[in-house]
Amino acid sequence: MRLLLLGGTSEARDLAAHLVAGRVDVTSSLAGRVAEPRLPVGKVRIGGFGGVTGLRSALAGYDAVVDATHPFALGMSANAVAACAATGVPLLRLERPGWEPDETWHYADSHEEAAALAGRLGNRPFLTVGRQELARFLPSLRRHAVLARVVQAPELAMPETWELVTSRGPYTLAGETLLMREHRSDVLVTKDSGGTYTWPKMEAAASLDVPVVVIRRPAAPDAVRVVNTVEAALGWVKEQSCAFS
């Protein structure tokens, strides 16, 4: 069986390692939006497919697909659903669970809503929402003293009041606490990404009594099986392998 693994997350890399060790013919696909991505073991392709049409053509070379992209990678996940439905290729969604809800957090259904909330809650926001979403925060936070942390600098022209930090997790509680203290952050804005890599910022915010704005996850695609662990994904791949044996 030939498997296409849509990756870019720690879960995708973990799954790829297990599949390669199990001698599954797997190719990991990365979007190529980061200059130096963390590469999984095994075969890797980098770059987009050219929308649904391009992905449909690419699926001629695969028997199954696991979508293990970021929980907020809406475009790629939607393309995978459409392409697999059109070609009949089995599709599984591997998505890490979100963080356990906290009654002290302020929830938002969009980045724009989160920006407006942050503007009301503080004057020195700490944004950890990814470089592709920063432009959506400009209307509400252009004049705020924003600290924006991203893996790679955006092409966006940053306001003079904004400070950019480029780094990549995993992070530590001590490091996050120091960063927020140095910036005098008075509100943290994040997506409900889940996982442990960036959780220390949530602990730091709690210890510093800094309010947290959390952008809710989009709803999972309909009619697609979703699992939350690498072990469950491995079980699904085994099921598909039996169908081709």
pLDDT for position 73:
85
**Burial of 24 per CB tally in 10 Å (0-12, 13-18, 19+):** buried
Neighbours of 5 (CB within 10 A): 31
pLDDT tens track, the chain, 245 positions: 999 999 989 999 999 999 999 999 999 999 877 667 789 999 999 999 999 999 999 999 999 999 999 988 888 999 999 999 999 999 999 999 999 999 999 999 999 999 999 999 999 999 999 999 999 999 999 999 999 999 999 988 999 999 999 998 899 999 999 999 999 999 999 999 998 889 999 999 999 999 999 999 988 777 799 999 999 999 999 999 887 65
Q: Which superfamily does 2-97+218-244 belong to? A: NAD(P)-binding Rossmann-like Domain (3.40.50.720)
Number of residues that this document lists for the chain: 245
DSSP state of 245: -
What stretch(es) of the chain map to CATH 3.40.50.720? 2-97+218-244, 106-215
Total-model pTM: 0.88
pLDDT for position 100:
95
Give domain 106-215's CATH number out of 1.10.3720.10, 3.40.50.720, 3.40.630.30, 3.40.462.40.
3.40.50.720
Determine the Cα–Cα distance for residues 141 and 157; give it in Å rounded to an integer.
14
Fill in the amino acid letter for 114.
Answer: A
Determine the Cα–Cα distance for residues 146 and 159; give it in Å rounded to an integer.
9
Phi, psi angles (nearest 5°) of residue 68? -115, 35
Determine the Cα–Cα distance for residues 208 and 107; give it in Å rounded to an integer.
19
